[in-house]
Structure 1
């Protein structure tokens, strides 16, 4: 054989596809990584060995010429079209959609081979796996299935093929991109030589990785990877995931979000593959909490677990697993609130995200009457944003957590007697004496002192009626557990300092408002007297009649005559003007799209 043969012809002569893949990958490594002399010599030796298996007449220098590089890329891309011998249960991609193969065979009366797939997004499907009365496969969703031709889908590529394709196409962009796992930005040391063996992180988001490839190649090529992103992959089993991670001895962080990974029958068999793992993200993977506990034996050193937007409802007690966990994200799961306290058996849990989980209350199991609790002994940071919390007794429960110093409680239904959101924050600060941060803002000494003094005045009359300093009633202590402590700290309030509710009917209180139009200089301001109880939706209806602009297009803010230069948002149509503290003489700024 002479050098006149093209690289494509050389590969056509090859007898085994396995040898071809080895040659392709060794060529890609030498082309893409600019290896040192020692590394180049090693790859050259491997190439010589692989090529000799194809034909002893091939010239290795020829394979490494410029044409070889372009063919290598094309051949790597072509691997996506190969259907495995056992496709049922495998993951596939079709455009931007992902699915699991449930059936392979003929579909009467059509000719040719079909794949029956269950889509991750059931809206992409058409049926439940049946056609003309014949049930070919089943789906969880009655409209979650489809039949597609094999040539229309991709079964993906192995790990190193995805690495070569990703890092050759846009190496600078990938190597320099910011890395976020579980909402945390990861900082990396500078990699002076950007070679695969130096990579501390590999980001293969939606790169259709389907497995490890040739045994041992990952360990040889990317031995220093500490953080790996395989989100949106085509991995279908924990066995496939473990076959990749067991070759990455330094791996500490793994992003596996937006996958559908079937459970393993023996999690202990894969324990070594995740022995150093500290951070794991499984967001949007359709797991239940019980399934997570079944898998947890694989992660003996896990400290940070993110499970956002799964299928988690009831929480079972994690017995003997996840005992090293410090951070847990359960946001965007429809949790059964009575089961939340079962997480309290996690002895090292410091950060817990329960935002957007439809919670209205948390009852700490052993702290019904006590002022402190032994549950959640290490919890420092709690996120309760976007829930249905409306009872102040919930905040009183949180006061029993001995280490809680950070709380986020935005967009809930807690209200104060004056309807002011700022008063709500003051009451939270006053009730939680150990709190250092509220809603991601540090609580200053002055802010805490002001909140606690106002709290004393706000409920001073109740305190006096309940017995005052002599012996306050049990009911008062239950509603305001810290009140007596604050009295001892600042002293009892004078009767003239007490804040008494003003006897007025809110619905009858009219305020003067001036509507101004900052984006329309020719339009004159409009002044109106409106009830403070008027909801924003009706205010927009009024503006629609005045301006002939659809209410949905209107955007409102307001400025207070007491605070110059600051615009306050009015962003909920169902809240009242009083809720936003709009007062007599304020201006409402009206804009539209």
Structure 2
């Protein structure tokens, strides 16, 4: 039974009774804002006087699994992640501005100062002093000039009274709220509405509620980090209407397993002409997606996309397996699944035989209105052929003299063909593979 006495706490929560806590509420231990847990039980414990709060700790720093002396009070996530705590030893958190005041106006603790050191040549700790520390601290104390704030693990749980945040930090552009006690999306909205200059919001390690209804439209937020927040893909889809201008969305550590329908229309990530990737790359990297941009992903398209993706990675990544694993986490899995071997020239192979190993077969269809109907042509070309070189070849293949060709990649399942608009890029950069169809149009 844990019954720790109240320790020194830089942000005091005051006296608490058992009735101050509710099931499912996130709390932290008084004096340690990094020791965060979820309330799973409030009431009496057999053999002990008074009220207790059963907490399931996120860092697994507990005594039991929710049962004590043979009596089960709740089910914890692990065998030793839970404990019973006196209410006055728990805090339900603080308004954002209280945490801000402590973070930027408070004095460094002895522990923090002791942790500021470097190791000497003999591996001894040598204390260091920040030059201009007072000057930096003075600048940070002027909240109206603050553009970036980190309030990680400070027990923030609510926005606070309306108007106060805007009056205090009106210029804030970046806000890091990692590891706090936030869960209600209405509190998140209350914070964001008062920060009209806010662009980047980090909510990692806050366990967010599944109810995202009532969220207002936040047109100014462009980067949202929701790593390890327990968010589902259904919630992400509901949030998209409230965050219409988001350019970056981070969702690591949420165990998303049911992404079946994705729409990336008019999004740079799905537009090769704007630095994005072709449809087949998205299909290969998203193992569970069934509908992409409104088009069904058939088993055949998935297989062909995954094989083309593996070939693409193999053509670009040769010497750094670790970098390949980092940038293409499904590469090794797909390479093994489809039985694709590393392409090596046969012993003694030279000239045309060796070159043929890197050739791909493509179909060229001329659809230029001013030329008239021409039969499609199937050609074998090196995968490294540039778009500019292919345009010149098309002029020869179709005997085009009076017009300048414009090329499009036509992919199965994609509603519109992809413009190959970079003459210096190779055709494989745009996802052209064996069996691909390229449309030859004329420039207007």
Could you tell me the TM-score, scaled by structure 2's length? 0.55
1:250 alignment partner in structure 2? 197
1:88 to 23, 38, 63: 23
Indicate if the aligned counterparts of 1:160 and 1:218 stay in contact, CA closer than 8 A: yes
Q: CA deviation at 1:203?
A: 1.1
1:280 to 224, 232, 257: 224
Alignment of 1:92-171 (within 5 A): 92-94=27-29, 95=32, 96-121=34-59, 123-141=60-78, 143-169=80-106
2:215 alignment partner in structure 1? 270
CA distance in 1, matches of 2:384, 2:68: 76
2:157 to 210, 216, 220: 210
Higher strand residue share = 2
Indicate if the aligned counterparts of 2:185 and 2:209 stay in contact, CA closer than 8 A: yes
Indicate if the aligned counterparts of 2:202 and 2:225 stay in contact, CA closer than 8 A: yes
**1:236 partnered with 2:236:** no
Q: CA deviation at 1:257?
A: 0.7
Q: CA deviation at 1:339?
A: 3.0
Q: How many residues align?
A: 305
Change in Cα spacing, 1:212 to 1:457, as seen in structure 2 (3 Å) is same
**1:409 partnered with 2:356:** no
Q: CA deviation at 1:341?
A: 4.5
Alignment of 1:449-464 (within 5 A): 460=349, 464=353
SS in 2 for 1:271: coil
CA distance in 1, matches of 2:383, 2:244: 48
**1:486 partnered with 2:382:** yes
Indicate if the aligned counterparts of 1:304 and 1:325 stay in contact, CA closer than 8 A: no
2:293 alignment partner in structure 1? 345
Q: CA deviation at 1:395?
A: 2.0
2:249 to 301, 305, 308: 305
**1:77 partnered with 2:11:** yes
Change in Cα spacing, 1:286 to 1:75, as seen in structure 2 (3 Å) is closer
Q: CA deviation at 1:463?
A: 7.3
CA distance in 2, matches of 1:135, 1:141: 14
SS in 1 for 2:165: helix
2:311 to 396, 400, 408: 396
Structure 2 gaps, min length 5: 1-7, 113-135, 271-275, 277-283, 316-321, 333-341, 363-378, 387-444
2:173 to 226, 231, 249: 226
Q: CA deviation at 1:139?
A: 3.8
Per-residue CA shift, 1:70-128, capped at 9, x if unaligned?
xxxx998323665683443321123332111122221122112211112223x324444
CA distance in 2, matches of 1:318, 1:487: 30
Indicate if the aligned counterparts of 1:125 and 1:146 stay in contact, CA closer than 8 A: yes
Q: CA deviation at 1:345?
A: 3.2
Indicate if the aligned counterparts of 1:302 and 1:322 stay in contact, CA closer than 8 A: no
Indicate if the aligned counterparts of 1:289 and 1:316 stay in contact, CA closer than 8 A: no
Change in Cα spacing, 1:397 to 1:289, as seen in structure 2 (3 Å) is farther
Change in Cα spacing, 1:82 to 1:167, as seen in structure 2 (3 Å) is farther
Change in Cα spacing, 1:260 to 1:489, as seen in structure 2 (3 Å) is closer
Indicate if the aligned counterparts of 2:152 and 2:176 stay in contact, CA closer than 8 A: yes
Per-residue CA shift, 1:413-445, capped at 9, x if unaligned?
86xxxxxxxxx7xx7xxxxxxxxxxxxxxxxxx
Change in Cα spacing, 1:131 to 1:368, as seen in structure 2 (3 Å) is closer
Change in Cα spacing, 1:115 to 1:250, as seen in structure 2 (3 Å) is same
CA distance in 2, matches of 1:281, 1:242: 15
Per-residue CA shift, 1:483-522, capped at 9, x if unaligned?
94239969xxxxxxxxxxxxxxxxxxxxxxxxxxxxxxxx
Indicate if the aligned counterparts of 1:157 and 1:209 stay in contact, CA closer than 8 A: yes
SS in 1 for 2:190: helix
Indicate if the aligned counterparts of 1:81 and 1:155 stay in contact, CA closer than 8 A: no
SS in 2 for 1:210: strand
CA distance in 2, matches of 1:98, 1:124: 10
Report 1 or 2 for greater relative contact order, CA contacts < 8 Å, sequence distance ≥ 6.
2
Change in Cα spacing, 1:200 to 1:457, as seen in structure 2 (3 Å) is farther
Per-residue CA shift, 1:187-210, capped at 9, x if unaligned?
xxx999652112111210111111
SS in 2 for 1:166: helix
CA distance in 2, matches of 1:363, 1:409: 27
Change in Cα spacing, 1:76 to 1:206, as seen in structure 2 (3 Å) is closer
Alignment of 1:315-354 (within 5 A): 315-318=259-262, 339-342=287-290, 344-345=292-293
Change in Cα spacing, 1:217 to 1:366, as seen in structure 2 (3 Å) is same
Change in Cα spacing, 1:297 to 1:151, as seen in structure 2 (3 Å) is same
Larger radius of gyration: 1
Could you tell me the TM-score, scaled by structure 1's length? 0.42
